[in-house]
Amino acid sequence: MDFPPVEEQLELLLRGSVDVPALDDLKKKLEKSRLKGTPLRVKAGFDPTAPDLHLGHTVLLTKMRQFQDLGHQVIFLIGDFTAMIGDPTGRSATRKPLTRDDVLQNAETYKTQVFKVLDPDKTEIAFNATWIDTLGTTGTVELMAKYTLARMMEREDFKTRYAGGHSISVHELLYPLLQGYDSVALKSDVELGGTDQLFNVLMGRHLMKEYGLEPQCVITTPLLEGLDGRLEDGVLVGKKMSKSLGNYVGIQEAPLEMVGKLMSISDDLMWRYFDLLSTRKTSEIKNLKDQVISESAHPMVIKGELAREIVGRYHGQAAGDTAVEEWFRVFSQRETPTDIPAITLAGPADASGLGIVQAMRDAKLVESGGEGRRLITQGAVHVDGAPVTSLDFVLARGGPHLVKVGKRRYANVTIA
């Protein structure tokens, strides 16, 4: 198989990367792969602790896809065993363990979602229970003998918890060893992980040496800032993308919702998203920046191209194009969308209508009654063009009533 020149591969692979502790080794692996025409085995592990993925999760997936586009083989490792322990990274307390059924159910949804980024023909799916279940007591003791407690306690998470008098369960000490053993079992050439995973992925490099294997190389990627990321004193700051913080873009959200969220980010954050989420070449992104600097293109137009690419990846290019065009038509020109869903809700038998908060919740315009009430008090809810100012507002029977929530959520609601 023909591979691009090593320097060309590195230009793409190092873009948006943070830690590459053995860069010379990586260059040698890429050169050897190119000379032999043999793809590298690139591993990234995901513990299926929750069912849904957002763009923050896809930073690693995008880096995996870049390896695939260069001709390499990717191993999407599902930590069905390690998820039951729970990664202690960044935790101030022991995680609540998951059952095997919980893990497997979440794993099925992961498998559905990841192929919206990865090429299935170049992806190997593996479950680490396959080899950990057969490791046995003797094998586990041998594994634990290959690392010291002193070095384990150098890890910042454990050091902080120990100093603060918080408990550390013995099984948590086993987690990084088992993650490292995954690399031994898979004989990986490269492991990818977020910056918070540096200790764990380096464990794989250490253990491969201990087991007499050529050690893997390591690349870490940043934790993606959420939609509220901003530039302060020349530095991009912001909390990482998180569903609990509400600053996320879910990869299964509706196309227009995704576009609206992406169009709301700052111009500075836009380039960060290009670097971490786009599959465009570095030269293409530089060309887009030059267009903005020279004022031959407005930042919002370029942002639309970012949204078009990302939404197209998860919903198909036609849906991405349509959603971006609809956003510009509706929100740039302040017009009403053309594809507003029609929803019929049942009102109480003893009432003349349905309360607005319950209607928004039932129509899935908000995730909870609390969110609905908050948006009403903020003046973000309109019915038939007029703002809703009372939490007791009632949608009368009949309709349809045009309900608008925030800037992007619409529904034609009929009360039966």
Is residue 393 packed enough to be buried (19+ CB in 10 Å), middle (13-18) or exposed (0-12)?
Answer: middle
Q: What string of pLDDT tens digits covers the 416 residues of the chain? A: 789 999 999 999 998 899 999 999 999 999 999 999 999 999 999 877 666 789 998 999 999 999 999 999 999 998 888 777 655 555 444 546 667 777 777 777 777 788 888 999 999 999 989 999 999 999 999 999 999 888 888 887 788 888 888 888 887 888 899 999 999 999 999 999 999 889 999 999 999 999 999 999 999 999 999 998 888 888 888 888 887 778 889 898 889 889 989 988 999 999 999 999 998 888 999 999 999 999 898 999 999 999 999 999 999 999 999 999 988 887 766 666 777 888 999 888 777 789 999 999 999 999 899 999 999 999 899 887 778 888 988 888 887 888 999 877 888 898 88
| Predicted local confidence at residue 335, as pLDDT | 67
| Predicted local confidence at residue 98, as pLDDT | 67
Nearest CA to 323 among 407, 114, 310, 280? 310
Question: Buried b vs exposed e over 51-61: b needs ≥16 C-beta within 10 Å?
Answer: eebbbbbbbbb
Nearest CA to 388 among 374, 399, 400? 374
| Predicted local confidence at residue 332, as pLDDT | 65
| Predicted local confidence at residue 33, as pLDDT | 97
Residues 248 and 241: beta-carbon distance below 8 Å = yes
Name the β-bridge partners of 45.
Answer: 77
Domains in the chain: ranges and CATH:
6-221 (3.40.50.620), 247-332 (1.10.240.10), 342-415 (3.10.290.10)
pTM of this structure:
0.69
> Which 3-state string (H, E, C) describes the chain?
CCCCCHHHHHHHHCCCCCCCCCHHHHHHHHHHHHHHCCCCEEEEEECCCCCCCEHHHHHHHHHHHHHHHCCCEEEEEECCCHHHCCCCCCCCCCCCCCCHHHHHHHHHHHHHHHCCCCCHHHEEEEECHHHHCCCHHHHHHHHHCCCCHHHHCCCHHHHHHHHCCCCCCHHHHHHHHHHHHHHHHHCCCEEEEEHHHHHHHHHHHHHHHHCCCCCCEEEEECCCECCCCEEECCEEECCECCCCCCCCCECCCCHHHHHHHHHCCCHHHHHHHHHHHCCCCHHHHHHHHHHHHCCCCCHHHHHHHHHHHHHHHHHCHHHHHHHHHHHHHHHHCCCCCCCCCEEEECCCCCCCEEEHHHHHHHCCCCCCHHHHHHHHHCCCEEECCEECCCCCCEEECEEEEEEEECCCEEEEEEEC
| Predicted local confidence at residue 91, as pLDDT | 46
- Amino acid in position 353: G
